[in-house]
Structure 1
Amino acid sequence: MFSITSLITSLVSKGKYLHSGNHRVRQIQTSVRNSGLLLDMVKIVIPELTNAQHKGNCGCIAVVGGCQEYTGAPYFAAISALKLGSDLSHVFCTHDSATVIKSYSPELIVHPVLDHITSVSEVSKWLPRMHSLVLGPGLGRSAKILNNAQGILEEAKKENIPIVIDADGLFLVTEHPDTIKSYQKAILTPNVVEFSRLYEKMFGEQPLEDEPVVNVKTLCQALGNVTIVQKGYNDIISDGVHVLVCCGEGSPRRCGGQGDLLSGSMGTFNYWAHKAVEDGVSNKSLDVYGPTLCAAYGACLLTRQCSKLAYEKYHRSTTTSDMVEQIHPAFEFLFV
């Protein structure tokens, strides 16, 4: 059974903000009771497994990323989507990274097209089959690759596909904010540094000191109510109207790749949540917060639980591979 003492969750409605110091701590503590409602919100969008289903019912996830220098990130994102419960996971990467990524797991469908001159058209042929897109893990900052990624992002929007943007995908958005502006099926997942860069791009100044919730809400509004997850000690999630703060226990270990587990699992949750809403699934919290906040909250909570479980087992030696192994027990603990 889920232990409420293992998670402190704060809900902040429009016009109410979290501040630093004791007031912030008290406000988080007094809203612990809301965590059960949020868990129910996530649980209701998770598709039931039945023998009548066929391959693809639980999601086909596309990860756009992977270059010669960065092959682990797209793998972690894609395998996390599968381990959470999506049926198929595609990776659209550069030619020189494809064999390496494929060697990590036979489960992944790898397309070595991201550096082709016809990359956008080649990926676009697959997009109607995809239920969710994760853009950025291992993308790199080559101008050619970023240009192709921007074109793919535009095509994904035309298909009305839920999108998660992480890592160097956020660099692309910072350079070209209009690429994602007002696309409300998108979730951005910046860390503090990435958030500050995007905030400064939009407002010409650094975020307000000690006002993280205000900053996130303000940036979401400036981007046309795109959902943002500012990763950190607490994950602040907002669409510019509502705010959720995920304060799961996690662990002190900060190995590379945790953000990729988050983005891959969020891609799966993003499809599940949007599909549930489209199918008429109703829940009081889901009706208020909508599918993107639901997906973001579920993925943040899962990632923190994976980190916690892996750290309990491996302590200082914990790696993201160890966290991936914990996706199933973390899911069972939280959502079953």
Structure 2
Amino acid sequence: MKIFTASQIYEADKFTINKQQITSDALMERVATKLFEWMHSRLQGAQVKIHLFCGIGNNGGDGAALARHLHENGYAIEVYVVNYSEKRSKDFLINLDRLKERKLWPEFLDSDCSFPKINPNDIIVDAIFGIGLNRPPDVWVANLIKHLNSSSAFILSVDIPSGLPSNRNPWEGEHVVRASFVLSFQVPKLVFFLPETGVYQNQWEILDIGLDAEFLVNTEADYELIGRPEVLPMYRPRLKFSHKGTYGHSVIIGGSYGKIGAVQMASNACLSVGSGLVTAFVPECGYHSLQTAIPEIMVLTDDEDDSIGEINIPFVPAAIGIGMGMGTKDETSKAFGSFLKKVEIPIVIDADGLNILAKQPSLLKDVPKQSVLTPHPKELERLIGEWDNDFDKLKKAKAFSTKNECILVIKGAHSIVIYKDKGFVNTTGNPGMATAGTGDVLTGMITGLMAQGYSSLHAAVFGVYLHGLAGDIGVSADGYEALKASGIVENIGKAYMELLRPPNQENQEGA
């Protein structure tokens, strides 16, 4: 699913109005109908007080049109016009007149008004500002927003929480509506998925308002939301007449004294995601533990006992993952630099491999093109430098990816895969995955997918999705606190099965 900018959404509105030969008012009526149907299906006529706060732009017009539908279906409502400007949109005025025709008289709020009392059991519909907000709310509107947030009532925001710009961080966090739920139109907004802006809504859902399919299909987007429909076409099914060599020989390089477990988890994940063969390359101290822990893999060592001093692979692997638990000792850093000069295939670099690159940026020129880098936030900062906010972080990540022709996996609640000017926002995963070793598992999974013939970009996008899905399955059994990285590995197979399950299977089984 594409994630459009505010300007692209406005263009989609115009395109739809022209192609479908409808008025902007008719499109607004579609929006209001969808909003009402969503609320009515859940409230079923319940006599709860609904407070609708409407701005004087098109977002407020949506709110006013929704108020009419709620009133005509017997709901107890109060409508407030947040009168923050003398300029009013045409469609807002049309829907305001329709309210007055039905003897519904909104209360107009301005800087001199006291704010209405709202009980915790009431419902607030926030339709004050939409995606076009380009300046901080006036002080009195900011105070109104704080009043709404302090009410403890359920807040339903129309399209986007009021006070939250669609293309930057808010000017002041306290002046943004804290939405219990957001009903967004046609496409999600990037701000829903970034750490600094995603905190302003607990849940969101997309309402299809019938924007023209031609525009949606043909318009390129800088970001794409990755769910099951997007990754399923990437899946490469196994062939009947195949063997272990068909699915590639992966090499996982890393480990040091006391940190062999990182290689163990990455190797196990690599094998579990489908790599035909897996060899771990570790210092001598890791030999026995790896051979005992994972009998299905092979183990190579160098001459050093507690850290890697030289990297020699006596065969040509299909994919390589390197860095986990490796350390950054001088001899290890030299071995890593020498390895980069020799390797000729795209590789996956994690953890200490990234830290060495950050300390010696001259090595970046030797990283094979199309390689995948999987930094956690601090490792990312070491690579691309400090950022002012999440939007600046994405800008710098794109510049880094373009300059070095690599794929960056920005880990987080919604991990984002960056390749040049394009971002792929993941939808799986949960807070239980914020634990040691999950990054090692991800590196192993991406390596194993590349070994099977997935392109670097598809391996990163598919691997991040499958990794999060395995974590979600693990959490359903173990809970957030008890989920371990090894539990994610154990659920990779179930994640594949969930991905490939026919959508109507549950209904068929229950029939």
Partner residue of 1:238? 418
Q: Which residue of 2 aligns with 1:24?
A: 190
Separation in structure 2 between the aligned mates of residue 137 and residue 106 of structure 1, nearest angstrom = 20
Q: Is 2:231 aligned against 1:39?
A: yes
Equivalent residue number for residue 225 of structure 1: 405
Equivalent of 1:174, from 358, 364, 377?
A: 358
For the 8 Å contact 1:84–1:268, the answer to whether it is kept is yes
Cα separation, 2, equivalents of 1:82 and 1:68: 23
- Higher alpha-carbon Rg: 2
- 2:462 aligns with 298
Q: Does 1:312 align with 2:493?
A: no
Would the aligned equivalents of 1:174 and 1:198 in 2 still touch at CA under 8 Å?
yes
Contact 1:10/1:246, CA 8 A, preserved across alignment:
no
Cross-structure match for 1:6? none
1:214 paired with 2:395, answer yes
Contact 1:95/1:113 (<8 A) preserved: yes
Percent identity over the alignment is: 22
Instruction: Sort the Cα spacing of 1:253 and 1:188 in 2 relative to 1 into closer, same or farther, 3 A.
Output: closer
1:19 positional shift: 4.3
Contact residue 115 and residue 148 of structure 1 kept, 8 A: no
1:84–1:328 contact (8 Å) kept in structure 2: yes
Cα distance in 1 for residues equivalent to 2:167 and 2:355: 28
Q: Which structure is higher in RCO with an 8 Å CA cutoff and minimum separation 6?
A: 1
Residue 101 of structure 1 is matched in structure 2 by 290
Aligned residues: 295
Alignment of 1:62-141 (within 5 A): 62-113=251-302, 115=304, 119-120=310-311, 122-123=312-313, 125-126=314-315, 128=316, 130-141=317-328
Matches within 5 A, 1:154-165: 154-157=341-344, 161-165=345-349
Instruction: Provide the secondary structure at the position in 2 that maps to 1:215.
Output: helix
Matched residues in 2 for 1:40 and 1:18: separation? 30
Amino acid at match of 2:381: S
Q: Which residue of 2 aligns with 1:254?
A: 434
The DSSP-based 3-state class of the residue aligned with 1:68 is coil
Paired amino acid for 2:488:
M
Aligned to 1:284: none
How far did residue 54 of structure 1 move? 2.3
- If the length of structure 2 is used for normalisation, what is the TM-score? 0.53
How far has the Cα of 1:184 moved from its partner? 2.2
- Look up the SS of the partner of 1:208 in the other structure: coil
RMSD of aligned Cα (Å): 2.9
Q: Distance in 2 between matches of 1:19 and 1:332?
A: 39
Deviations 1:46-102 (A, max 9, x none): 24231x212211111100101112011101111111111111111111011222222
Aligned to 2:369: 184
Give structure 1 stretches of 5+ with no counterpart: 1-8, 201-205, 277-290
3-state DSSP of counterpart to 2:432:
coil
Alignment-mate amino acid for residue 493 of structure 2 = H
Rounded to whole Å, the distance in 2 between the matches of 1:246 and 1:10 is 12
Distance, in Å, in 2 between the alignment partners of 1:335 and 1:86 is 19
Q: C-alpha distance in 2, partners of 1:18/1:115?
A: 51
